[in-house]
Amino acid sequence: MLPMPTINMAATGRNIVRLRETAGLTVRELQDIFGFATPQAIYKWQQGTAMPTIDNLVVLAAVLGVPIDRIIIIDGNRKAKISA
């Protein structure tokens, strides 16, 4: 197996919290922006148990005022098996 970059979901979640707080937004405000009925998806993103979909990631980056690559934390040294 070759070393492949993988998303560090826990670090990405912590990063989403930090960026949200820096932007001065609450979870409730993000919930309203995304039109979610409940804040559960946002809490899952922040806890690192789920990732935003690509379209939600694009919106999140725009709302937070950062490029997408500033949201996602990549581990470049992990070995991952790639399957199709």
Ranges of each domain in the chain: 6-75
Predicted pLDDT at 78: 59
CATH homologous superfamily, domain 6-75:
lambda repressor-like DNA-binding domains (1.10.260.40)
Note down pLDDT in tens along the chain; length 84 residues: 677 889 999 999 999 999 999 999 999 999 999 999 999 999 999 999 999 999 999 999 999 999 999 999 999 765 555 555
pLDDT of residue 84: 57
Amino acid residing at 34: F
* CA dihedral over 35, 36, 38, 43, signed as positive or negative: negative
Q: How far apart are the C-alpha atoms of 32 and 36, rounded to whole Å?
A: 6
Rounded to 5 degrees, what are φ and ψ at 6? -130, 155
- Can you give the pLDDT at residue 1? 63
Q: What is the reported pTM?
A: 0.86
The candidate with the shortest Cα–Cα distance to 71, out of 22, 21, 5, 16, is: 16
